[in-house]
Structure 1
Amino acid sequence: MFNGFISIDKPPIITAHDCVSNLRKLLKQKKIGHGGTLDPMATGVLPIAVGNATRLLRFLPEGKAYNAKIRFGIVTNTDDITGEVLSDRSCPNLTLDEVEKYLPLFQGTITQRPPAFSAIQVNGKRLYDLARRGEINESDIPIREVEITEIKVLGWTEGDYPELDVAISCGSGTYIRSIARDLGEKLGYGATLSSLRRTYSNGFALEASLTFEQVAELMRSQNLKVLAPDHGLHFLPEVLLGVDLTKRWCMGQTIKDGFALTVNSLEESAKLETHNYVRTYTEDHQFLGVSEAIGSDLQPIVVLHPIN
């Protein structure tokens, strides 16, 4: 029985739900969940929790990063290259200098209209279901505010339908397809997303990600090791509990003045200014779960290692 995280390098075409199904078969384990969706066309980092770590998914940090390729002159109904082409206008004279003039408009806190073909719910129904049935208008799609930390140009390919390669760092809820669509609209030629690879997601990096083939091989050789349950949670402050307090905490009891026990209290107290949740450990640093800091008290929220 595995308990922890696996960062999957998702292949194209399949969905995040398909990834979970594949892992259940490979690991012969049912309790598996993913940390955020990824478009079927996209590849790259998909954090997956296994066993008791599924209870920690909601505590993972914000933040995602992508390498994207944007093709100009093509507009589709899905805002990516897999959709139905709505307009086709070659633009061989478009230059990188022209494109770069508009990139600052897509950095910082911006408003964004999600693609019609997306998993967002409107009146209890998924947008992609409404879009497939032709029951959604652009004005019905809720505008949302998203955070784009950085857009860095990686390359430029000239041609009748020139392509821009960019690295994008952003907050959760950002649609890279929408950036491609809106950038094309600003330039007057239209654009669509032609490829997308996620390089970072919620505390997990591409370098530590495994393909399904690698997972299968590691299972055959009995060498598969999952990432620790507290992987990705190190942005949260931590506390170490002695033996008696550990027993009480694992029984669900609030620890009075528990936050006074933090390791490196100055640094950890600074973290608490922005985070109400606390990583909780034994004195020998065995991860117990997550507490909520209520004043100086620690209330158990997720108890992974109950002690009898």
Structure 2
Amino acid sequence: MPGKHLSVVVTRRLPEVVETRLKELFNVTLRDDDTPMTTDELAAAMSEADVLVPTITDHIDAKLLGRAGDRLKLIANYGAGVDHIDVATARQRGIHVSNTPGVMTEDTADMVIALMMAVSRRMGEGMALAQSDKWQGWSPTAMLGTRLRGKRLGILGMGRIGQAVARRAAAFGMGVHYHNRKRLRPEVEEELDATYWESLDQMVARIDVLSINCPHTPSTFHLMNARRLKLMKPDALIVNTSRGEVIDENALTRMLRAGEIAGAGLDVFERGHDINPRLKELQNAILLPHMGSATVEGRIEMGEKVIINIKTFADGHRPPDLVIPAML
């Protein structure tokens, strides 16, 4: 199918350079305002387009896929995570799904380290104090945090991002531990100097900082539940840049309030942007608005991957980043 005759609908505003290139290559409909489409708007787009370019804010379930037209043949997701798309149902309906893996690895790993440093050194509290009228100047015992060097980091999910975090943590002098669905190959484990724990319970009880880097799947929902959070040391820190649903947010909030966990750095939340109000009030929690992959370079690279997937599909070939249910 020639590109210019391929109808493509983009659900959110993308970087201008990406939108312009899409317009040059395809018959594309762009979004005027940067707000998520309603369910009806998504259904209308899916009934008219050959290709839909959604983002994480578009929840494409079996019911919505049932409203898709016969034309829709590719959902070229702008982002690596596809837990917002019912991939199995899409495949049953003859609709391919592609994503943009690997692009966000370095940027997200940088954010993990940034949050670890911010929480361990109480930067959120320090900024609030410096911007208030209460700061009385330097004191030997004021705003004491903890150093990262010598601490044990536990990584939950040792994929691309987890491994990038491990390399950065080693440079900070941290010991690297990990739990993963599959153990890494010996040579990779040796290169990262990482200790594998088959038991997540055993790992979380021993580490000083926990970084969550696993995807959200039925098996990882509330993987860090109240019982498992209680296994962590009271002076431990937790960082999540992956998916909010992996942590029981209410349980985490209660434990942070009670001092049963020392601090948390969160870039994602269980209910999207609807953050627990009690969590917002805590001084020992640093909350960010899903900024982990938010770099100019990363967003443009994501767009380039989307374009390559669509162009390859238009040329009659398998998109290089095709997602199949067995991968999930």
- Structure with the bigger RCO (C-alpha within 8 Å, sep 6+) is 1
User: Greater strand share, 1 or 2?
Assistant: 1
Bigger-Rg structure (1/2): 1
Compute the TM-score of the two structures, normalised by the length of structure 2: 0.26
Compute the TM-score of the two structures, normalised by the length of structure 1: 0.27
User: Greater helix share, 1 or 2?
Assistant: 2
